[in-house]
Structures are given as structure tokens and as C-alpha cells.
Structure 1
Amino acid sequence: MNTAYKRIVVVGGGTAGWMTAAALATALPGGSVELVESEEIGIVGVGEASFPSIRAFHKLLGVDEAEFLRATNGTYKLGIEFRDWRAQGERYFHTFGDFGDLTGPHALWGQHRRVNDAGLGALHEQCLPSVMAGQGRFQAPSEHGKLFDYAYHFDATLYAPFLRKLALRRGARRTEGRIVDVTRRADGGVDQLKLADGRVVEGDLYIDCSGFASLLLGRALGEPFVDFSHWLPADRAWACPAERVGTELAPYTRATALEAGWAWRIPLRNRTGHGHVFASRYIDEDCAREQLLRQLDGPALGEPRLLRFATGHRRRVWVRNVVSLGLSSGFLEPLESTSIFLVQSGLGRMIDLLLPGVAPGESQVAAYNAGMVRQFARVRDFIILHYCLTARRDGKLWRAMMTMELPETLAFKIHAWRQSGTLYQYDEEGFDATSWLAIHAGMGHWPERADPSLRDLAPDAALRALQRRRDSLAAVVAAMPTHDAYLRDMTQQGTR
């Protein structure tokens, strides 16, 4: 292994742990990657929706898409349908697509709003994956000139074992055992892990993937937690799978706003994932549980499971010889399915620092920490945007979110959009300008003044261009197979 850390120990299995072990075994072959986990502890295992970046991760690992979908009961995800967020009865899509030009006289959204022709339909009808999602169709984009991206829904309890097999084939080792003590080095780093049966595990670099327990970074090293709950007050989630109902699979996640939070619906091939994320200061757990059960579209496959969490992140995620990834480093509610994205981002940055074969210096570790902290903040701001633009007044949560003081970074971005239609982007963004536009448009939040250059295009010319694009997209989608048919053909590959 071409790295200064000859023995790398991953603490905790689950999605984050086995993503890390598989990536390290692939990118840094020939060395020692050991993962320690205990069957007694289990995993959170309710996150079933992902972000398009997962496809790049699978490409790095050489994962075959059909094999992955078969192993995890996976389906395709074109984005998220938001119901009742701006007002009850309204809905919009945030999809991984393209709205054409975002600035200047040919800014599609600007001309669509300027023309204001009811016959055009909603703005999302100008976005290919939104039209696909609305018609329940799917076809993978070509690599040349692709107009959209996609992600997956999958069973998280099956994804970790899938990665585990891959990691073990590539040389990673698994140690079964419950960690009962962590000894420290003289410089404050981690020296050894002591297991319940008396065994000792030693490493040069430890990757903490121990979930909310944050066994190494939080508990052993005492790294402080930066709390985001004053901006994102949701701190509980009920999760419950249900039987699959009907024959067609929706190629998107659904997020439905409720009294004090929101409910997810995630279609898998064998069942449907349901959950309710809520703020316990505005609703009690039993009432939230009942609201979830009313959202199920099929018989429950078990009792609802309650998860408690805090939104935020550790002040630093790399301290001494400990790097924290996944829930042990921080958590942002799963509204935009960014947990795996944040694991992947931290993992990729870490591997880049390990590849030269020398231990990263203090300045490099500091830059790593600063970059991850900014990324948490950027994703935080994007999630807050969904809440703070609401017109709802029917619950304490919605009224509080409308009046709270926003993070300065988000307040500036909203101001720039309102004043001039500028979709300002910082560094370390998790979501591009098109994603921000989708939320602004879906929430009916428009600039106070239109860009004067929009008038350079005659209204009738703008209308014809929008009609052509809408009709062209509709024709393309009409020729596509249904999501269910495409998925059935994909998962049968190699099994005939």
C-alpha cells in the first residue's frame, strides 16, 4: 500500500464503513485495511435514497449496475416530488436535469415566467427528467450530450453486505467484535481498540464509521459537536416499510410536508420505504407515529422504528490519526438524500491525501476539515431553503421556519436571487444552480425585478421556443419504456 499509514482500521460497518473499506481496498491495494464491527450493534439502515454522485463511486469501484440493482432490490431515482411544501395541495419536482440557460436573454426560466402562458404548463415540463418522472418512464442517458443525471433507491440493509463482499474480495479484512475501550497515544491520538473478548486491534490510521455513537471522534477524543438544530429542528424519525402496491414503480422519491415535519416514500422492487421526519418540540412521538401510519400505501411489514438524532457536525472531522465519516461526523436530515454524498466526499478527499505515500501535514488536515465543514454548511443551507420559503401557517414548525434568522450565507443567496435573479454559488456546493432554481421555482419564489436582457427576445419568439422544447421533451419521453419495464430488463441482464 503506497501510504504512510500501513495499517488502516475502519470502526463500524454499515453503509459508511463498507463504502470506506471497499474504496480503500480498491484505491490503495496491497496494504492492510481492517474493518471492526459487531453483529450485536446493528446499523441504522433506513436510508434508501441516494444522490447522483453514487454513480461516480460505483464507477470507481467497478460496480456493475445490474448486479447492484439485483442485490439491493434497487430502483432508479430521477429526483424528488415535493408535496404540500409551499401550500397544501401544491407539488413540484426537484430533478437532476437541465433547464437550459440560466442567465441572459435566453434564460429559460426567465422567459417562461415573462411569457406567462398557461398553455405552457409548469416550468418543470421544460426539464427532461421531470417529464420522465411524471409519466413513470426511464431510460439511461447517453454519455454524450446527456441532459440529466440519476441516482438510485435501494435497501440499505442489503447495500452494506453488497459492498462488504466486494471489499473482502479486494483484500480488506473483517474483525467481528464489540469495542469496549479505546486507549490513547501520548499525542492524543488513538493507540489501540480493546474488544469485549480481550483481543486488541491496532492501527496507524483509524476511520470512525461508528454511526451516531461517534465512538472514536466524539466519545474517545471528545471533539465538540456544532449544533444546527436552531435552523433544522427535526430531531426524530419514524421508519416503517410497507408492502408494494400496484405494478408500476415511480422513478422518484416523494417528500410530503406534514404538521411538524415531512414523510418520505421510497419505492423498491420488493417493498416501499416509508418514514416521517419530525421536530419533537412541535409534535409528540406517538402522534408523529400515527401520522406516518396514515401515509402508508400498503400493509406495514413491521412495527415502526424510532430514530433520534441531532443535526450538525463535529467541529473537526480529522483529528490526530482519526478520520470520521458518515453519521459519526455529522448528520443533516435526509430531505435531499445527502448522507452518502457526504461520506463519498470525505472519503474521496481522504484518499487523495493518502495516495502520495506520506502522512498529510497539519495544513493539509486543516484544509480537509475546513472543506468538509463548508460542505456541511452548504448542504444545510439548501435544506433550510425548502422550509423558509413556505407559505404555510398551519403548524408551529412552519410559522417558526418562516420567521427564524437565516445563516448569513443563505440569507445572502436569497437576497441575490430576489434582487436580480442571480443564483449565487459558493465553493464546496453540494447542489448546483439548477437545483437551487428548482426549489425557488417550485416554491413560487421569484426575483423582484426581471433581467432587462430578457426583453431582447420578442415574446412570440420566446413562446415558440418554449413550446418547441416542451413538445420535443414530451415526444422523447413518450418513446421511452416505463420505469418498471426498463428496470425489469436491466435486472435480468446476465441471468438469462
Structure 2
Amino acid sequence: MSQKFDRIVVVGGGSAGWMTAVALATGLQGRASIELVESEEIGIVGVGEATFPSIRVFNQHVGIDEADFLRATNGTYKLGIRFCDWQAKGQDYFHTFGHFGNLSGSQTLWAQHRRMGLPESLEGQCIPSVMAAKGRFVRPADPGHFTYAYHFDAALYAEFVSKLAIGRGVRHTQGRIVEVLRREDGDVSGLLLADGRRIEGDLFVDCSGFRSLLLGQTLQEPYVDFSHWLPVDGAWACPSERVGEEITPYTRATALEGGWAWRIPLQTRTGHGHVFASRFVDEDAARRQLMAQLDGPAIGEPRLIRFKTGHRQRLWVNNVVAIGLSSGFLEPLESTSIFLIQDGIARLMKALELQRPLNESDVALFNEGSARRFARIRDFIILHYCLTRRRDSELWRYVAGMELPQTLAFKIELWRRYGVLHEYDEECFDQTSWLAVHTGMGHWPEREDPVIAEIAQERALRALAGRRQGIAAMVEGMPLHHQTLQQVLR
């Protein structure tokens, strides 16, 4: 591997390629040439994106104005995810981007709520959960109250970011790669295009999607398979016409016979899809189930996407770094695809900004941290499946009884026995997220910390009722989501 990266080549466009290119151009400020190579003959997977709040950090870092971004990408705001029929049919819960407050010390509000045996959901104690239920949205005056993410058209986002990247000096090369050229030490030396052009570089960033042209096909890096725990392996995607004026400020994930269906509301249309496990539901049946979920008339024909959950064993090999789908894939249940792109970019930038030549330890740290990040997100996604009480189809019986990764089994045991929300390094989701899923699925600890009883019941009830009523009154005065959008877009 070369110790000096004067020429960086990004292979592939789409969200991963153009986000990488604009981040490199912004962060390196001319210290290296950046060239992005893509082929119009190879389409991108982008079917619409529901994102995680970290997307706002990326946009701010590269200087994207929120209103410009929303206009360009058909974007809307997102306060979290509504999970329907996951615990049991007819029951739902909300994974919030807010918090549940406290009474005296951290993590005690939920415990007092549980202690009182209150019939109402814990969601009434969380500002964005109530906002989402009422279809309302305002940007927080105090970032400590809650945060938010976006829904947007992934293809439009890639186009928007590409203009920024090219404006900052990124060279855009169109051409189909027919051969990857290598040196004797195993490094990639260049790319041969169909028209005979050669693209040479010192560092190659593989953003070629599921194809994984450099890391997977050329360097033959093994794949770590997660399909034992996450058996979904396909998705039908089909947008529909938007119906009515209201735009819900959240993603919806509805559990079905052999998987789950997403609903992502954009300004002018609604994204729909059905993620399914082909060993538990027939492909044609999954397609029919998707079409039954559409809000309005379909826009075009459903599109089938195939995948395997997991990741490449190492994401940085020789002088090739994989970012996006070329590095691995986790089903989009918690909207982490863009986050994993950002995470790879951030790790790469950290390495490139070192004031010394890179060594094997630097690359090993990159790979170890990346693998742990995939594993932590994997565990959080599995949590949604393994707590189910559904036994009405093969898929739900399978996930309810499967053996869990030890890292997840330990965390669940700590919560079940003692109400402890344990955190590892490289977590993506904080304790509030884990609490939202545990309590939303009706999975409460078997025992309570005795110190919880030191607060008088009357005082605890007053505090809980006061917070719930205060949040409800606050939200009642907020504008509807589409009204806020109209104001921002003007």
C-alpha cells in the first residue's frame, strides 16, 4: 500500500460515491486530486431514503443549506419510525429521536411509569413521539429537546451532492470499467475503461454498490454473512402517488407474513417497499402484499432488489477502501444505510488527515472499528425481531426461537433481569433507542431498582402527569408538518 495518496479515485456514483467525493474535496482542500468514475450503463439502487439524524451533521459539514437540500431532493422531515404489528398484530410503537426525561437521576422516568402500572404508553412522555402522532413538526429551539432526520429521493440527493463536488474540483469521468489493473504487491494501480482510457490513482474508494467491483470481485475479500439472524434477502420497491395534503413526519414499518413493508413520505409522492425473506414467503406473494400497502395509485412497476445481509471481512485492503453497499448491507429497518456511508467516510477522513504516513495499525483500527459498527447495528435490528410475540407465520416463529449473537444476548439479559441498558463501544443507537424498542415491544425488566420506591407515589404520579400534559399542550400549538415544510421551502 502506498504511503502517499496524491491521487484518489472514487469508483461509482450514487449517494455513496458523491458523498465520499464531496467530503474528500471539502476536507482535503486540494491536498489530493479527486476523480469519480461511473458508468451510465450501471444503475444505482437508490429507491428513496429514510435517514438517521446524523445526516444533518454531514450536510452541515459540507455546507449544505437545509432549505436548498429539501427543495432539490423532494425532502420531508422525520421524527422517528412507527412500528406496526411487530409485537403482535394490531399493536404498534414509536422509535423516537427524542428522550423520555427523568424524575431524579438518569433513566428513572420509565421505571416510575412501570412502577405505577400506568395504562397509557410511555410515548406520551416524549416530545417528538407526540409530535409524530399528531402529524406536527417544528425544528427544535433547543437541540437537547429532540433531534430529527429527513426523508428524500436518493437519486436526487446524489445529483445535488455531485454538483457540489464538481464545483469543489472533483473530476467526473464517465466510462465503463472493463479491467482493474494491479501491481505486483497487490495494490490496484488503475482502471481500464471500455474506450481504452486508463485511470490511475494511489488510493481507490470502492462505491460500486452490491457489485463490489474492487474489494469483492478484484481483491476477493470474504463476506461475513448475517443472514442466520437477519434472513431477509430481497425487497420489492414501488412509489405511489401522494394522497391528501397531510405528510406524516415519520417512517412507517409494518410487519407482514414474511418480512415488513416501509412507507416513506416525500413532498410529491410516497415511497413503498416490502423487505422479505424468500425462504419464508414466495416472491410473487411478497409483490402482491406490497401492492396492497400502497396509499394511492402506483407510479411505475415494482422493482425487485436482491441482497445478503452482512459485510466484507475487511473494508480496507491494500489501497482499496469500500464505502456503502460495496462494503456490506444491513436491511433498512432502522434507516442506517446513509449512516454507514457517513461512518466509512469519517473513518477514511480521519486516517487521511493524520500528520504522518499510514501504517498497518491504522488500517487494522479502521477495519476493526468498521466491523464492530456493523455488529452493533446488526444487534439492534435483531432486537426488533427476537422480542416478537407473533407466531402466525414461519418467519416469526423462526426469529422468536433463533440463537442470538452473544453480544445481544448479554444486553437483553441485563435489561430483563435488572433494567440496565448496557452500551458497548461503536454503538450507533443510544440508550433511549434501546428503551423505545424494549418498552414498545412490552419487554420490561423482571425487577426494579429499590431506590425507585424512595420517591413517593403521589409525587411520581404528579410528575408523570405534569410532563405528559405539558408536552401535549406544547404540541397542540405546533404547525402541521406540511405547513412547516411550506414555510421552509418558501
TM-score, reference length from structure 2: 0.98
Residue 58 of structure 1 aligns to a residue whose secondary structure is helix
Matches within 5 A, 1:1-400: 4-30=4-30, 31-101=32-102, 107-118=108-119, 121-142=120-141, 144=142, 146-400=144-398
CA distance in 2, matches of 1:427, 1:348: 16
Deviations 1:362-393 (A, max 9, x none): 00100010000000000000000000000000
User: Are 2:474 and 1:470 aligned?
Assistant: no
CA distance in 2, matches of 1:106, 1:162: 41
Q: Cα gap change, 1:47/1:379 in structure 2, threshold over 3 Å: closer, same or farther?
A: farther
Q: Cα gap change, 1:18/1:102 in structure 2, threshold over 3 Å: closer, same or farther?
A: farther
CA distance in 1, matches of 2:186, 2:221: 12
Q: Which residue of 2 aligns with 1:461?
A: 459
Does the aligned pair in 2 maintain the 1:137–1:481 contact within 8 Å? yes
Q: Quick check: 325-334 or 181-190, which moved more?
A: 181-190
Deviations 1:248-282 (A, max 9, x none): 00000000000000000000001000000000000
Deviation at 1:460, TM superposition (A): 1.0
Amino acid at match of 1:141: P
Amino acid at match of 1:231: W
CA distance in 1, matches of 2:62, 2:140: 21
Structure 1 portions without partners, runs of 5+? none
CA distance in 2, matches of 1:102, 1:375: 32
Does the aligned pair in 1 maintain the 2:83–2:94 contact within 8 Å? yes
Q: Percent identity?
A: 66
CA distance in 1, matches of 2:359, 2:470: 54
Amino acid at match of 2:149: A
Does the aligned pair in 2 maintain the 1:381–1:407 contact within 8 Å? yes
Residue 9 of structure 1 aligns to a residue whose secondary structure is strand
Q: Quick check: 26-35 or 366-375, which moved more?
A: 26-35
Amino acid at match of 1:134: A
Deviation at 1:101, TM superposition (A): 3.5
Deviations 1:322-373 (A, max 9, x none): 0000000000000000011011011111101101354321001000100000
Deviation at 1:106, TM superposition (A): 6.7
CA distance in 2, matches of 1:314, 1:77: 30
Q: Which residue of 2 aligns with 1:411?
A: 409
Q: Quick check: 469-478 or 308-317, which moved more?
A: 469-478
Q: Cα gap change, 1:19/1:102 in structure 2, threshold over 3 Å: closer, same or farther?
A: farther
Deviation at 1:202, TM superposition (A): 0.5
Does the aligned pair in 1 maintain the 2:48–2:271 contact within 8 Å? no
Deviation at 1:47, TM superposition (A): 3.9
Residue 150 of structure 2 aligns to a residue whose secondary structure is strand
Q: Cα gap change, 1:102/1:253 in structure 2, threshold over 3 Å: closer, same or farther?
A: farther
Residue 140 of structure 1 aligns to a residue whose secondary structure is coil
Structure 2 portions without partners, runs of 5+? none
Segments ≥4 residues shifted beyond 4 Å: 102-106
Amino acid at match of 1:135: K
Deviations 1:102-139 (A, max 9, x none): 99587010000111233xx2101101000000000000
Residue 256 of structure 1 aligns to a residue whose secondary structure is strand
Does the aligned pair in 1 maintain the 2:416–2:444 contact within 8 Å? yes
Q: Cα gap change, 1:306/1:106 in structure 2, threshold over 3 Å: closer, same or farther?
A: closer
Deviations 1:422-477 (A, max 9, x none): 00000000100000000000000011111111101011110100011001111111
Alignment partner for residue 427 of structure 2, among 411, 426, 429? 429
Does the aligned pair in 2 maintain the 1:332–1:339 contact within 8 Å? yes
Superposed CA RMSD: 1.2
Does the aligned pair in 2 maintain the 1:105–1:455 contact within 8 Å? no
Residue 394 of structure 1 aligns to a residue whose secondary structure is coil
CA distance in 2, matches of 1:86, 1:174: 48
